[in-house]
Amino acid sequence: MTTATKTFKRNNGRKVDETREIRAEVGIIPNADGSALFAFGDTIAIATVHGPRTMHPQHKQDPKKGVLRCNYDMLSFSVTERKKPGPNRRSQEISKVTEWALAQAVDLDDFPATVVDVNIIILQANASTRCAGINAASLALAHAGVPMKELVASVSIGKIDKTLVADVDKEEEDNEEGDGATDIAMSFLCNSEKISHIQLDGKITAKELDEAIELGWKTCQKIKKIQEDTLKKVGEEK
């Protein structure tokens, strides 16, 4: 950690590398082949998986392997100012980066001409919704039994003024003091230790960004552990 870490005190009493309370559950939606809930504190994402099933329209089929298709959306009342129901530019972009974040973790070579549909909804939003969505999706894919090489874990690292923090909440995201807030959402392929998704908004030096990614990796290892523990519980109950 840099010396700057001491300057910003988090409003919520969290340590700089501490996420909000994480809640993870699988099997919450009976109709889906796989489903999961993942929450960072007040940010709650639900993901389902349907498939592999035949891809329609046919021209989108890949004769060599199955295709992963993601769809992310927020419920209209998940934010303080109502969001018009249905997809918009933001949700379509997030859907696409989510797809890219997860694509290398699944192995659909044995399912040519099929699609695996991942649908993510945000029930309640307090920043980091795409990261919660990706974590939920990774869990739901595993819960569905889709062949996977590894899990994907996602977190947003923030630079609030000059301090790096893990799992940014809305209040931190809106911080305007000093350098203001820089938000870096990132996702890791947990075994290959590679970054499958990264997005940044704000102002940050290359050196600080190196540190942010390191903090992201450390945090994602903790998240991966929670994902694994959640999946191990499947079938244990009753």
Which residues here bind other proteins, judged by CB under 8 A?
Answer: 29-32, 35, 42, 44, 46-48, 50, 53, 71, 73, 75-82, 85-87, 117, 119, 121, 123-126
CB 120 within 8 A of CB 73: yes
Identity of the residue, 127 or 181, whose beta carbon is nearer to other proteins in the bound complex: 127
| Dist. CA 100–CA 213, nearest whole Å | 18
Q: In the block, which residue shows the tokens 């209209």?
A: 76
* Nearest distance in Å: CB 147, other proteins: 20
Strands 67-74, 114-124: pairing is parallel
d(CA 77, CA 117): 24
Least distance to other proteins, CB of residue 118, Å: 10
* Closest CB to other proteins among residues 82, 149: 82
Count of CA atoms in the C-beta half-sphere (13 A) of 128: 31
Q: Least separation, in Å, of the C-beta of 71 and other proteins?
A: 5
Residue 74 or 220: the one with the smaller Cβ distance to other proteins is 74
CA-to-CA dists, residue 55 to 60, 63, 111, angstroms? 7, 11, 11
Q: How far is the CB of 75 from other proteins (least distance, A)?
A: 6
Residue reference for tokens 């998986």: 49
Q: Within 22-82, where are the H helices?
A: none
Identity of the residue, 121 or 204, whose beta carbon is nearer to other proteins in the bound complex: 121
- Residue with Cβ nearer other proteins (71 or 128): 71
Residue found by looking up tokens 């893990």 in the block: 166
* In the complex, least distance from residue 175 CB atom to other proteins, rounded to whole angstroms: 17
